[in-house]
């Protein structure tokens, strides 16, 4: 998906919601477990219930890989079912030496039809560049994350700046705002003003709203730019809104709440 297509979707739907399909088979409604593919059945119902309220879906691959072949098959069916009208993110956090990253890119951009993949920048430019070689595909590089362990490395001084600031500044030189995003956690909202100065035109994938306690209002007011510029991911708060047969309706109700609030913050 091109940058302009993503922007158009955001303003047409008045939404920058990304629904996280971090589907844990131990948490889905018990009545689905008798299905031939309970994870896909669950995902399909969530997608059908929320597709008009969001612009993106994020699949955390760990929850699928943990199930072996069946999990991988469920993920493949899910990403195909989402289709081309939503921005599809593989939350896989890949990143390795160049020839290995090239294979990861092939897996998620050719074998599977994802639009973007999350990438770790620790190994440097040659580990990220292979993901940036595909037309209309995106690398979403970890910047400042929402977990408590961010203080161990990301928030440590690195010369006259913090390490995450060095990462944002350096990585932004490897791509451009049409193929490169950054992960910035919603629980780090106070840092968004400085982050916007470093990367004024890039999109951010923002996890941490919902179950992790991040504020949609704070994120929207501090991180949004003229193009929208953010995809706010909500996973558990939406997909596990109910563990009963009404789970899809409950998910829709929560997603609608975020959609209504997002309309208030989109200025044009």
pLDDT at 2: 97
CA angle 57, 76, 59 (to 5 degrees): 30
Nearest to 116 by CA among 136, 96, 133: 136
CATH number assigned to the domain comprising residue 195: 3.20.20.70
| β-pair type (138-144, 116-119) | parallel
> Count of domains in the chain?
1
Question: Which entry of 44, 70, 93, 222 is annotated as an active-site residue?
Answer: 93
DSSP sequence for 45-68? HHHHHHTTT-SEEEEETHHHHTTT
pLDDT score for 211: 62
CA distance 203 to 225: 9
CA gap 177, 188 in Å, rounded:
22
Calculate what percentage of the chain has a pLDDT beyond 90. Answer: 91
Q: Would you say residue 212 has pLDDT above 70?
A: no
Per-residue pLDDT, averaged over 135-156, amounts to 94
Residue 202 has a pLDDT of 97
Beta carbons of 103 and 111 less than 8 angstroms apart: no
Would residue 134 be called left, alpha or beta, if left means φ above 0 and alpha means ψ between -120 and 50 degrees? Answer: beta
226 given a catalytic annotation: no
pLDDT tens-digit readout, 85-128: 999 999 999 999 999 999 999 999 999 999 999 999 999 999 99
pLDDT value of residue 116:
98
Res. 214 pLDDT band, cuts 50 70 90: confident
What percent of the chain has a predicted confidence (pLDDT) above 70?
98
pLDDT for 90: 98
For the entire predicted model, the pTM comes to: 0.96
Confidence tier at 157 by pLDDT (50, 70, 90): very high
Note the helical H segments in 110-235. 125-128, 163-171, 192-198, 216-223
Query: Does pLDDT of 242 surpass 90?
Result: yes
Tell me: the pLDDT tens digits for 49-63? 999 999 999 999 999
For the segment 12-18, the average pLDDT, to the nearest whole number, is: 97
CA 261 remoteness from chain centre: 19
Q: Which domain holds residue 160?
A: 3-265
Specify burial of residue 140 (Cβ count, 10 A radius: 0-12, 13-18, 19+): buried
Task: State pLDDT tens for residues 17-44.
Answer: 999 999 999 999 999 999 999 999 999 9
């Amino acid at each position: 998906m091109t940058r302009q297509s993503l922007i158009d979707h955001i303003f047409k739907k008045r939404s920058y919601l990304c629904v996280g399909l971090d589907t844990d088979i131990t948490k889905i409604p018990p009545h689905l477990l008798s299905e031939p593919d309970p994870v896909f059945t669950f995902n399909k119902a969530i997608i059908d219930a929320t597709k008009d309220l969001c612009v993106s879906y994020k699949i955390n691959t760990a929850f699928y890989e943990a199930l072996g072949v069946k999990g991988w098959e469920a993920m493949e069916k899910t990403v195909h079912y989402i289709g081309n009208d939503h921005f599809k993110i593989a939350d896989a956090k890949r990143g390795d030496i160049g020839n290995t990253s090239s294979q990861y890119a092939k897996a998620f951009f050719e074998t599977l039809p994802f639009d973007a993949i999350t990438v770790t920048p620790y190994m440097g430019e040659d580990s990220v560049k292979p993901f940036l070689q595909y037309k209309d595909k995106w690398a979403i590089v970890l910047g400042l994350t929402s977990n408590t362990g961010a203080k161990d490395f990301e928030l440590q001084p690195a010369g006259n700046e913090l390490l995450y600031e060095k990462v944002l500044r350096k990585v932004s030189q490897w791509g451009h705002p049409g193929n490169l995003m950054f992960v910035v956690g919603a629980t780090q909202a106070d840092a968004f003003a400085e982050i916007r100065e470093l990367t004024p035109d890039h999109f951010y994938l923002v996890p941490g709203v919902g179950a992790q306690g991040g504020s949609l209002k704070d994120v929207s007011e501090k991180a949004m730019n003229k193009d929208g510029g953010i995809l706010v991911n909500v996973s558990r708060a939406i997909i596990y809104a109910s563990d009963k047969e009404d789970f899809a309706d409950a998910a829709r109700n929560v997603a609608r709440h975020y959609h209504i609030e997002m309309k208030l913050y989109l200025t044009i």
